[in-house]
Every structure is written in C-alpha cells, then in structure tokens.
Amino acid sequence: MNSSKWLIRTGYAVALVGLFFASPLTDFLPVDLWASLGQMFKARAGDHTYYRVVPGEQSYLLPWLLIPAGVAAVLVGHWLKRRKQGL
C-alpha cells in the first residue's frame, strides 16, 4: 500500500475519532476510559469492576485538534496521490 492511501485512511480515522469525541455520546464513557479498558482484559473470574460516575466539565480541545489534523492528513494524501499521477 502506498503512502498516500495510508495517509488518507489515517486522516479519515483521526477525523472520525475527533467527531466521536465531539458528540454527546462521550457522556456515557467511563471517567477513566483507558484504565477501565485495561482492567477488562486483566480481570479474573471473580473480580468486580465498579465505575464511578461524576459530573464534570468537558474539554473540547481534543476533538477540535483531531478533526483538523485528520482533514489535513486527507488533503495532503490526496495531494500526494495527484502529484504521483502527474496531474
């Protein structure tokens, strides 16, 4: 797979993750998402995992950084693809 396809696909993925984090669906994620995902794979048969739901402010910095970064990667990937084709 050439680098322009890789860049385009990665750009779409990063932009979609940014859009997901900007959506109201993130209100249903656990407070410490990465630690809870790690516990899912490390838990033994008798262990229980409890999640604490707390109100808090949501920072919109991450989605607004991921969305333009993904769009920029897609645009650069298309530019590289056109440049290789000689258009």
User: Contact 66/14 with Cβ under 8 angstroms?
Assistant: yes
Higher pLDDT, 81 or 25: 81
User: Contact 12/5 with Cβ under 8 angstroms?
Assistant: no
Higher pLDDT, 84 or 41: 84
pTM more than 0.95: no
Q: How buried is 30 (Cβ within 10 angstroms: 0-12 exposed, 13-18 middle, 19+ buried)? A: middle
